[in-house]
Amino acid sequence: MTTLLVTLVLVPDRSDEVLARLRSEVAPWLRRLPGFVTSRWLLSPEHDRCTLVVELAGTEAVPVIEAALRPGTRDRARSWWCERMEDVEDLGLAVRPSVTP
């Protein structure tokens, strides 16, 4: 299992537009990638950051995600950009209701 932690920077006065695009284009694209398991999308109270926790069955889709999001590339002409993306280890401490320990 591969878990990615992705931080997107949003231009706050365009956050409604960005969130609509993330919902209509980016999230469906992500779900279609090989090995996609699940994702969580977390929005900061200021609407200037969106953090994604993406779980993949393996590493096959990681280069595809990196190429699409170009982590670390700041482009102020865009309404959002990827600040960082890192492969993290899920310690499994949160109990999932659908999974029996």
> Which tens digit of pLDDT belongs to each residue from 30-87?
999 999 999 999 999 999 999 999 999 999 999 999 999 988 888 778 899 999 999 9
The band of 22, judged by pLDDT with boundaries at 50, 70 and 90, is: very high
Q: Could you write out the three-class secondary structure of 11-67? A: CHHHHHHHHHHHHHHHHHHHHHCCCEEEEEEEECCCCCEEEEEEEECCCCCHHHHHH
Which has more confidence, 99 or 24?
24
The CATH fold assigned to 2-88 is Alpha-Beta Plaits (3.30.70)
The first and second tokens of residue 24, run together, are: 């209509």
The string of pLDDT tens digits covering residues 72-95 is: 888 778 899 999 999 999 888 876
101 by DSSP, 3-state: which?
A: coil
What residue ranges do the domains of the chain occupy?
Answer: 2-88
Q: Which residues contact 27 (CB under 8 A, 6 or more apart)?
A: 39, 41
